[in-house]
Amino acid sequence: MTRKSLAVALLLLPTAASAEWRTVAESAIGRMSYDTASVHAQGNRAQMRYRIDFAGQARAGAPRSAVMDVVLDCPSRTMGLVAFTSYDQPEGKGKTIEHQAFATPKMDPVRAASTGVPLLKAACGDNAEPHPAQPAAASAAPGNAPAAPATGTSKAAPGGSAK
């Protein structure tokens, strides 16, 4: 993805004011949601925004939430991180703690039983099937953490690592 197409993709994502967040997983780590208004398909690819609201009391300077913009390649069932921003308040609000943008996202397979599956289905359709599951240590891609039911108490990290 070129810088120009990356800039266009980011401009297509709606502002926070028009966001409609749908929860896809909850765990002891927090709640993972995606913005239904942010899902945009272009050809075989789709862009979307998701958020993690971390549970519990954060230590001073630690993020309370993080918002990620991702691109998904539907035929290859892969997902890559375009941008990551962490905030000192829940729901992607407050002071920005960290921001990173990636001109060329690293595309990783969306694995079965990961929190990336609902993102893949939201972006690519309900019939989109993830790649087979791998051991937990096999992938730290965004959205590839083991899934927890929306009302469960699993200690799995929703959304995976953004670093």
Residue 54's alpha-carbon distances to 18, 73, 94, in angstroms, are 22, 27, 14
Task: Give domain status of residue 104, yes or no.
Answer: yes
63: phi then psi, degrees, rounded to nearest 5: -70, 145
Task: Give domain status of residue 150, yes or no.
Answer: no
Number of domains in the chain: 1
pLDDT tens, 4-34? 444 444 444 444 457 899 999 898 889 999 9
pLDDT tens, 145-156? 544 433 333 333
Task: Give domain status of residue 56, yes or no.
Answer: yes
Q: Select the highest-mean-pLDDT range: 69-78, 122-131, 137-146.
A: 69-78
Distance from CA of residue 78 to its chain's centroid?
A: 12
Task: Give domain status of residue 144, yes or no.
Answer: no
- Domain, as residue range, for 69: 3-138
The reply to whether the predicted model has a pTM over 0.75 is no
CATH of the domain at 68: 2.40.128.710
